[in-house]
Amino acid sequence: MKKFIIICLLITPLFLSAQNEKNIKSNFEVNGNCEICKKRIEKAALSVKGVKMVIWDIPSNIITVTHNTNKAPLRNIQKAIAYVGHDTPLFKASDEVYNGLPMCCLYERKIE
């Protein structure tokens, strides 16, 4: 019984570390202005299954996302954020959704 417990203690960290290898931190730009934007952007990113943690920095407009790359590729995360009105490197929010944002959230859009 003692050997079994020792083996379990040695093997368990291997399984836990193998599961965490799929989780990575990614950064990208998300356009926005204020605390209301921050809540909306973070909520949209967290709605994607496989996203573990999100922090959007207002001054830099950079979002840091911890996510499972198999369940939540960056493409899906950026698409969810654009869907709620905020432009990302891969997706532009629709004009209709962007124009429906509160006045304080209307950021300067880049012309492409």
Contacts of 80 (CB under 8 A, 6+ apart): 44, 45, 47, 48
Render pLDDT for 4-36 as a digit per residue (tens, 0 to 9).
Answer: 555 555 555 555 545 556 899 999 999 999 999
Neighbours of 72 (CB within 10 A): 22
Q: Where are the domains of the chain?
A: 23-105
Q: Is the dihedral of CA 21, 62, 75, 86 positive or negative?
A: positive
Q: What is the pTM of this model?
A: 0.80
The reported pLDDT for the residue numbered 13 is 56
CATH number given to 23-105: 3.30.70.100
Q: Name the packing angle between helices 74-83 and 35-46 (round to 10°).
A: 130
